[in-house]
């Protein structure tokens, strides 16, 4: 039986308590203990970006962060970016541009895009491509994703 | 019945209902689902590509606290049966291969499932795998299909030849044709193993419900594997229910059974819900791959450019199990000539067992492999004859009404000339070369079937009903794998019944509750289930308009349904609200629902070895054009422009169609440039996305999509399928552009920097 330690996380603006073993990842705790299944596991090795979340405002792969390292810190997932009642312009533009097909990369994509737009409200297409270069998508060929991020950037300005 | 000429919902770029749910993180994918008291499953896999299993000792694993079941082949009620892919029609003739749930006595590839564990926590299940003791005796294996064809090669599966299938296509007299040719070009092309690399690894949860039905909620392209799973358990078919989730990408890799039988066995044994999700590495090691092919092509043409002969030999590596290999090879056989008029043809095809990871469906299903060969050959002929690559193609393209080498008549529009012209024009002038960067342009055309082979007697069903308030419900057993399969059906029903899209709700992919709609494979769902849904909605429409005609005292032929009203198309201003008509129908006891069955054209094979006559319902045709920059020092290729021009018949949803064409183009670009599952003596050397290289956002050009809408497809509203055809001709277009840039041909995919540098160097030497 591994030793568990208490963990406090601010997820999408709400403080949550959980336990975590030292080797458990932030991804594992978010999905398995806190029911944040909107965060996806695509590879578990930091290769695909499906599990990206904002940790203190920076996009990180939750599969590479240890849960206990995030103790008392702020995590934002896709659900913290916007909701059906209060959609974020990124969510609206992803839908309207057809940037979502199977949708498995979407949570990570929107998180990476949010991190970009928070820092750089006027990104070029090249900067957008660089910002999502750690997020693999097998369905779209990226074009509509880049266009969706461009439009959301325009709306947010 | 009157058909509305102006369409309101069909053809528009409408956001899909499932996209909203996905954007908010509300979609519950297979691995996102949990149940109280749920156990976690794990699979023990073979560490050898070929070995005898001398013994398996599970006692230590069983004694581990928290372990609830350890299963091996002896625990599987029916461990061996045949592979089926949702079809209810048995083909025979070697088409159905062996389906073995767990290895028994022997392992045949590295990653083959040997034992199953269910435990209270995932890490306990992992620990239990380590405690299972399997004693192996390694056996010699065979890893090259050419070697495996030799009579003295190690036998991969006991009691059968390594050669799974041999097919022929014969037309005219190929030797005479080659003699008559003024030029003959001859090349051997090789294409690699490819992983589907869907972002969502295989996953599912199974439980025994209160009626004793084993219920499996799973990410799959084929819910109709419920029959196969029932047979594994020796249960009646109606005791297994499969619920398909929204799938995080399929591309053919979730066409075969993945986790279903394992889950059913563990849930049946423990009586508890069980979840099983593969790791990425496990996914790459254990699921099917795209078939590698060796393709020897000899093509002859007259001085004026007319192609007169093609002699080809195709050998595909089936890996250790047959699965869909004969079917994939059959597709390649039909497509092997490309869409060209060739009087003398002889194609031989073999698919051969090896101790490599098994191969099966992958987007394009045998079409992209041969397209790489025949389109490289067309450019080779153009060079030999000093002709323009577009002109030689246009001279030889088949036209509607003409026949393939198999004798199948092309019954619907063949959009090759116009797609070639449009793609070529959109490519524009060549970007100027600079320094060590060389620039090249290339085109390639393709044909890919949509709909399953006519021997499969394919059908689909859809249930459309209208509620008392005029809202509409669709029930159809389609699996939605991200292509908008479900939402397209909503558009078709909304258009036909004159209601807004928001008023439609669709229930999909449940073998117990939705009428079976067949597989989401073979680019068939829009064609098959689209037609079934159209037919069902038209039947409901007919009932409504007939009743409305009675009430209004107007010939129903004059009436239309639009904006939730019945209106007189002859402008008398007479109308009736939809709900009034619905209520009137209900009072009269008229059916406010219809379940329609759509039947594809059927034809039986008269014999198996020689492929003749109609094989597919129809094909989708088109052309890709690309411009590449090749760094002659590093060999790195950058695709600068990519034009995708295909005839989609009719775009039901423009956004979804563009999405298929853009995504398909990049899927094909990966095939051309970077993707290869490398196996060394059966061991996968590329088990993660650090080694298996998918195109990233930094690698892709701006894909320009040009849709041709001939309206001459066999799907609803004249649609053709585009899911798989969108991939077909990218890789050869890139290879042709690379030739244009460096003046030499690379015949092996992927076009890695090493191969490019080697080819440039070879040319200089």
Query: What are the tens digits of pLDDT across the range B649-682?
Result: 999 999 999 999 999 999 999 999 999 999 999 9
Name the average pLDDT for chain B: 97
Q: Do A48 and B665 touch (CB under 8 A)?
A: no
Which one of B21, B692, B697, B730 would you mutate to disrupt binding with A, by most A Cβ within 10 Å of its Cβ? Answer: B697
Residue by residue, what is the 3-state secondary structure of B299-357?
EEECCCCCEEEEEEEEEEEEECCCCCHHHHHHHHHHHCCCCECCCEEEEEEEEEECCCC
The pLDDT of B434-442, averaged and rounded, is 96
Q: What total of structural domains would you count in chain A? A: 2
Task: Examine the domain organization and report whether A40 and A89 are in the same domain.
Answer: no
Residues in a beta bridge with A25? A66
Q: Which CATH number fits the domain that encloses residue A22?
A: 3.10.20.30
Range of the domain at A122: 81-156
Please report the residues numbered 458 through 517 in chain B whose beta carbons come closer than 8 angstroms to any beta carbon of chain A: 481-484
pLDDT tens-digit series, residues B142-188: 999 999 999 999 999 999 999 999 999 999 999 999 999 999 999 99
**Is the domain of A150 the same as that of A85?**
yes
Contact in structure between B724 and B661 (CB atoms under 8 Å): no
Residues A34-45, mean pLDDT to the nearest whole number: 98
ipTM over 0.95: yes
Express as a percent the part of chain B with pLDDT over 90.
95
State how beta strands B504-508 and B472-476 pair.
Answer: parallel
Mean pLDDT of A126-130: 98
Pairing of strands A73-76, B51-57: unpaired
- Residue A1: pLDDT band (50, 70, 90) is low
> Same structural domain for residues A66 and A100?
no
Backbone angles phi, psi at B177, to 5 degrees: -60, -45
Chain A 118-157, residues with CB within 8 Å of chain B CB atoms: 128-130, 132-146
Identify whether the C-beta of residue B455 lies closer than 8 Å to the C-beta of residue B616: no
pLDDT in tens, B378-418: 999 999 999 999 999 999 999 999 999 999 999 999 999 99
Among A42, A95, A144, select the one facing B23 at the smallest CB separation: A95
Q: Are B25 and A38 in contact (CB under 8 A)?
A: yes
**Domain extent listing, chain B:** 17-26+459-508+516-599, 33-139+202-277, 293-453+606-764
* Domain closes at, from A21, A55, A78: A78
Res B2: pLDDT: 45
Between CA B503 and CA B559 the distance in angstroms is 21
Same domain for A85 and A63? Answer: no
Q: Give the residue from chain B lying closest to A105, CA to CA.
A: B199
What is residue B4's predicted lDDT score, i.e. its pLDDT? Answer: 52
What whole-number distance in Å separates Cα of residue B569 and Cα of residue B556? Answer: 10
Tell me the β-bridge partners of B313. B296, B348
Nearest residue in A to B659, CA atom: A140
Torsion over CA: A118, A120, A121, A124 (sign): negative
User: Do residue B688 and residue A100 have CB atoms under 8 angstroms apart?
Assistant: no
Per-residue pLDDT tens digits for B222-239: 999 999 999 999 999 999
Task: List all residues of chain B from 667 to 696 with a beta carbon under 8 Å from chain A.
Answer: 667, 688-690, 694-696
Residues A41 and A99 in one domain: no
At residue B415's C-alpha, the angle toward residues B301 and B330, to 5°, is 65
The alpha-carbon gap from B726 to the nearest alpha carbon of chain A, in Å, equals 12
Residue B1 in this model has a pLDDT that exceeds 80 = no
Tokens of B210: 């209160």
Residue A35 shares a structural domain with residue A88: no
Q: Are residues A149 and A117 in the same domain?
A: yes
> In terms of domains, do A71 and A101 share one?
no
Across the interface, which of A91, A130, A134 has its CB nearest the CB of B24?
Answer: A91
The architecture that CATH gives domain B17-26+459-508+516-599 is 2-Layer Sandwich (3.30)
| Contact indicator for B714, B618 with CB cutoff of 8 Å | yes
A86 and A136 part of one domain: yes
Q: Does domain B293-453+606-764 have CATH number 3.30.365.10?
A: yes
Q: In the structure encoding, which two tokens stand for residue B420, read together?
A: 């070639």
Q: Does one domain contain both A68 and A105?
A: no
Instruction: Give the HSE-up count for residue A110: Cα atoms under 13 Å, Cβ half-sphere.
Output: 31
pTM over 0.80: yes
Q: Is the pLDDT of residue B539 over 90?
A: yes
> What whole-number distance in Å separates Cα of residue B693 and Cα of residue B757?
19
Structural domain ending residue among the three candidates A51, A78, A105 = A78
Specify the CATH number for the domain of residue A89. 1.10.150.120
What contacts A8, CB < 8 A, 6 or more positions away?
A: A15, A16, A17, A71, A72
Model confidence pLDDT, tens digit, residues B592-601:
999 999 999 9
Average of pLDDT values for B90-112?
Answer: 93
Among residues A14, A44, A78, which one ends one of the domains?
A78
Lowest mean pLDDT among B87-96, B131-140, B236-245: B87-96
Do A108 and A57 share a structural domain?
Answer: no
Same domain? For A91 and A151 the reply is yes
User: Strands (DSSP E) along A26-115, which ranges?
Assistant: 52-55, 58-61, 73-76
Say which CATH architecture domain B33-139+202-277 belongs to: Alpha-Beta Complex (3.90)
Phi, psi dihedral angles at B758 (to 5 degrees):
-60, -40
CA distance A106 to chain B (A): 7
């Amino acid at each position: 039986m591994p030793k568990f330690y208490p963990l406090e996380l601010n997820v999408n603006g709400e403080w949550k308590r959980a336990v975590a073993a030292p080797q458990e990842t932030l991804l594992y705790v978010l999905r398995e203990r806190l029911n944040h299944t909107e965060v996806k596991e695509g590879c578990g090795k930091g290769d695909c970006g499906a599990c990206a979340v904002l940790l203190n405002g920076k996009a990180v792969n939750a599969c590479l962060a240890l849960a206990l390292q995030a103790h008392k810190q702020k995590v934002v997932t896709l659900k913290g970016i916007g909701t059906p009642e209060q959609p974020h312009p990124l969510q609206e533009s992803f839908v309207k541009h057809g940037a979502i097909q199977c949708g498995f990369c979407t949570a990570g994509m929107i998180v990476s895009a949010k991190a970009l737009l928070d820092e750089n409200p006027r990104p070029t297409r090249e900067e957008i491509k660089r910002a999502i270069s750690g997020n693999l998508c097998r369905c779209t060929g990226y074009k509509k994703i880049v266009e969706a991020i461009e439009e959301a950037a325009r709306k947010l300005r | 019945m009157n058909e509305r000429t102006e369409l309101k919902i069909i053809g528009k770029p409408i956001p899909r209902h499932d996209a909203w749910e996905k954007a908010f993180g509300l979609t519950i994918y297979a691995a996102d689902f949990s149940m109280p008291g749920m156990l976690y499953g794990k699979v023990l896999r073979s560490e050898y590509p070929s070995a005898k299993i001398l013994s398996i000792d599970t006692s230590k694993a069983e004694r581990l606290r928290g372990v609830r079941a350890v299963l091996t082949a002896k625990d599987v009620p029916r461990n061996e049966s045949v592979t089926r892919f949702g079809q209810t029609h048995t083909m025979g003739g070697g088409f159905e291969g062996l389906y073995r749930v767990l290895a028994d006595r022997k392992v045949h590839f590295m990653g083959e499932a040997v034992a199953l564990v269910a435990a209270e926590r995932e890490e306990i299940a992992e620990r239990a795998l380590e405690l299972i003791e399997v004693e192996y005796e390694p056996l010699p294996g065979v890893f090259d299909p050419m070697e495996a064809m030799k009579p003295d090669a190690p036998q991969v599966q006991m009691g059968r030849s390594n050669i799974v299938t041999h097919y022929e296509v014969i037309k005219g007299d190929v030797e005479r044709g080659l003699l008559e040719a003024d030029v003959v070009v001859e090349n051997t092309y090789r294409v690699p193993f490819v992983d589907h690399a869907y972002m969502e690894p295989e996953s599912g949860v199974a439980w025994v419900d209160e009626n004793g039905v084993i219920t499996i909620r799973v990410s799959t392209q084929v819910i109709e594997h419920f029959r196969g799973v029932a047979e594994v358990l020796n249960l009646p078919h109606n005791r297994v229910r499969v619920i398909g989730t929204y799938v995080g990408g399929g591309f053919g890799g979730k066409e075969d059974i993945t986790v279903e039988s394992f889950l059913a066995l563990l849930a049946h044994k423990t009586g508890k819900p069980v979840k099983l999700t593969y790791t990425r590495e496990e996914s790459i090691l254990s699921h099917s791959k795209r078939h590698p092919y060796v393709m020897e092509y000899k093509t002859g043409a007259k001085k004026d450019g007319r192609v007169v002969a093609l002699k080809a030999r195709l050998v595909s590596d089936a890996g250790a199990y047959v699965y869909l290999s004969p079917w994939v090879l059959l597709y390649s056989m039909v497509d092997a000539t490309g869409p060209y008029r060739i009087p003398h043809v002889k194609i031989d095809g073999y698919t051969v067992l090896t101790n490599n990871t098994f191969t099966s469906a992958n987007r394009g299903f045998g079409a992209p492999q041969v397209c790489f060969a025949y389109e490289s050959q067309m450019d080779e002929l153009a060079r030999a004859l000093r002709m323009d690559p577009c002109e030689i193609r246009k001279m030889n393209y088949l036209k509607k009404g003409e026949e393939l080498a198999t004798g199948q008549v092309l019954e619907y529009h063949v959009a090759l000339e116009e797609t070639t012209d449009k793609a070529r024009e959109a490519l524009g002038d060549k970007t100027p070369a600079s320094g060590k960067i060389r620039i090249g342009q290339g085109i390639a055309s393709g044909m890919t079937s949509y709909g399953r082979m006519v021997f499969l007697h394919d059908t689909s069903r859809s249930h459309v009903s209208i509620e008392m308030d005029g809202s509409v419900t669709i029930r159809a057993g389609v699996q939605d794998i991200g292509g908008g399969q479900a939402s397209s059906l909503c558009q078709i029903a909304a258009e036909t019944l004159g209601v807004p899209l928001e008023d439609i709700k669709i229930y999909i992919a449940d073998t117990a509750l939705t009428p079976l709609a067949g597989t989401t494979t073979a680019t068939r769902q829009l064609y098959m289930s689209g037609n079934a849904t159209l037919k069902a909605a038209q039947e409901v429409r007919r009932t409504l308009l007939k009743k409305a005609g009675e009430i209004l005292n107007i010939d129903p032929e004059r009436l239309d349904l639009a904006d939730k009203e019945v209106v007189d198309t002859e402008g008398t201003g007479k109308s009736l609200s939809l709900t009034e008509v619905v209520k009137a129908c209900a009072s009269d006891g008229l059916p406010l629902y219809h379940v329609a069955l759509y039947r594809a054209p059927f034809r039986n094979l008269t014999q198996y070895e020689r492929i003749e006559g109609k094989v597919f319902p129809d094909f989708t045709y088109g052309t890709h054009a690309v411009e590449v920059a090749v760094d002659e020092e590093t060999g790195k290729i950058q695709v600068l422009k990519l034009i995708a021009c295909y005839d989609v018949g009719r775009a039901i949803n423009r956004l979804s169609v563009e999405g298929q064409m853009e995504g398909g183009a990049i899927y094909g670009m990966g095939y051309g440039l970077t993707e290869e599952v490398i196996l060394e003596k059966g061991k996968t050397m590329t088990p993660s996305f650090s080694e298996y290289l998918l195109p990233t956002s930094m690698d892709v050009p701006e894909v320009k999509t040009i849709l041709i809408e001939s309206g001459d497809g066999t799907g609803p509203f004249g649609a053709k399928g585009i899911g798989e055809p969108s991939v077909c001709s990218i890789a050869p277009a890139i290879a042709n552009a690379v030739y244009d840039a460096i003046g030499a041909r690379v015949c092996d995919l992927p076009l890695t920097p090493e191969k490019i540098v080697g080819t440039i160097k070879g040319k200089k030497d």
